[in-house]
Structure formats: structure tokens, C-alpha cells
Amino acid sequence: MSFRPVIPYGGLQGWRFLNRTLERQQAAFAGDKVLEREASYFRENISKVRSAEQLLGDRRLLSFALDAFGLGDDLKNRAFIRRILESPSGEPGALANKLADQRYREFARTFGFADPGGPRTTLPPRVEMIVSKWKEQRFGQALGTVDANMRLALHARSEITRIAGEAGTDNGRWFAVLGAAPLRQFFLTALGLPPAFSAVDIDKQVDTLRARLRSLAGVGEVSDLRDGANVEKLMRNFFLRSENEPRAGFQASALSLLSQAASATALSRRF
């Protein structure tokens, strides 16, 4: 890569710098020739793919597709991915809809191989949406090599916005937070909870998170985080608390979590 994200400061000061320069940095990063070659290959070939089997048969396309949704670590889990893609995304009993990690649901719905009308990857706007998501993911990976906390926070803000805006129950949105390892880690740090908290009964976890969020931001539901001011309160607390952690150990933990894709054994609930 010819462009590497620039974060001259750590902590909250670095986060503010990243936000001021994010669009320019992302644009510079997206112009990389290697990235453009991969994006061009995807654009030229994905419209020819009419089934999950065909996508699984092209490792390069499959890798791109999974990376776009932060699921790159599932590249070898071909049987699992096939089950995700071959179940109609609108059916409550579909595997993607049973997993707490909603990235699988979005992945299945975006490609729509088993949905009425066939795959949606013949639609240019849908293809460009996937390419845009892929570039965002790749920028996040590059950002993590500079500062893992920045990557964790940027990823969390994007996921919070997505989950907060989706239909569903209040409990369901909290289960989605707890079912995604990086997002769970972000909330635990921002709300001052120890790693051992994950061993507590799931309903108790939700009650505690609600109470901690209400104490911090005056609201208790993930849907309330559609308000950017409430999200920024979380971000500020995340960086203030992470600065008090042993930096090397905390960053290593953040990078490890961000490299994980939830597997079939991830927290699974219907909501």
C-alpha cells in the first residue's frame, strides 16, 4: 500500500484528529492501485455469479465479498458460508437470522442468492455498495496497524449506527452488540466493565449495560444511539478508559478481537 493512515496522537486527541481528516485519508487510501485492481476484478466478475456455489468456486471473489462485511476469517468455513447464502434471507428460520452477529444477515441479504428474484449482484448500485464497504474495511485494517484503539472505535461507531437504525426489539439490539466480539469489547471498555463480565448471565449483562449507558448518556437503549451526541459520549469514555490500560496489552487485545469473525458457535438467538 502506498498510503498509510496518519494518527499523530493517541487517545481522545488522536480520535478527534482522525475525525477531522477521515474523508481525506479514506480517499487517499482508496486510490491505491492494488485496491483498485481488486475492486475492478470484483466489479467485472460478480455479475456473472448466479449462485452461492459459483461464488464459493472463485476464491478471489469470495474473499472480497467476505472482507466487505468483516467476515474474512470465515474464508475457510465454506460449508457454513454456503448455508448462510442458500437460505432465503427473509425467512426467520434462516441461519443468518438466528445468529446474534447481524453481519451475516446483512451479507445474506445483500447477495440474495436464495431470495425471490435471484441474486442482487446484477444491480450496479448493489455492487458499488459492496465495493464501498470493502474499501472501508481495508482502511480499518490499515488503521489498526497504526493504532488498534482507533480502528476499534471507528468500527464500533459504524456498527452502532447500523444496529441502532435496524428494526427489532430493544433486547435484540443489545444481543447484537454482545454477539459481536469487537463491539462487545468496545462497550465493556467504554462503560467500565471487566472482561469477566462476559461470563455473567446474558440477561444480567443487558440490564447492566442499560444501566451503565443510562448513567453515562442519560439513555438506556441502543436505538437511542442514533443520536450522534450520545455516541460521542461513549467514544470519549472509551478513549479516557483505554488510556488508563497498559497500552501494548490493550492494543494487542483490540487487534485480536477485530481479527475475529463470529463463527457458527457465536451467541445465537432469535429476535
Q: Which amino acid would we find at residue 4? A: R
Instruction: Kindly state whether residue 83 falls inside one of the protein's structural domains.
Output: yes
Note whether 184 and 159 are within 8 A (CB).
no
Alpha-carbon Rg for the chain in angstroms: 19
Q: So what's the pLDDT on residue 270?
A: 35
SS3 assignment, position 242 = helix
Note whether 96 and 107 are within 8 A (CB).
yes
Instruction: Kindly state whether residue 270 falls inside one of the protein's structural domains.
Output: no
Note whether 97 and 106 are within 8 A (CB).
no
Distance CA 53, CA 67 (A): 18
Q: So what's the pLDDT on residue 1?
A: 52
Distance CA 56, CA 63 (A): 9
Cell (9 digits) for 125:
448500485
Note whether 188 and 195 are within 8 A (CB).
yes
Domain encompassing residue 219 = 148-258
Answer yes or no: pTM beyond 0.85. no
Instruction: Kindly state whether residue 92 falls inside one of the protein's structural domains.
Output: yes
Write out the chain's pLDDT in tens, 271 residues. Answer: 578 999 999 999 999 999 999 999 999 998 899 999 999 999 999 999 999 999 999 999 999 999 999 999 999 999 999 999 998 888 888 898 888 787 898 999 999 999 988 788 888 999 999 999 999 999 999 999 999 999 999 999 999 998 998 888 999 999 989 988 899 999 999 999 998 998 999 999 999 999 999 999 999 999 999 999 999 999 999 999 988 754 444 444 444 444 443 333 333 333 3
Please check whether residues 15 and 130 belong to one and the same domain: yes
Please check whether residues 243 and 163 belong to one and the same domain: yes
Distance CA 262, CA 182 (A): 10
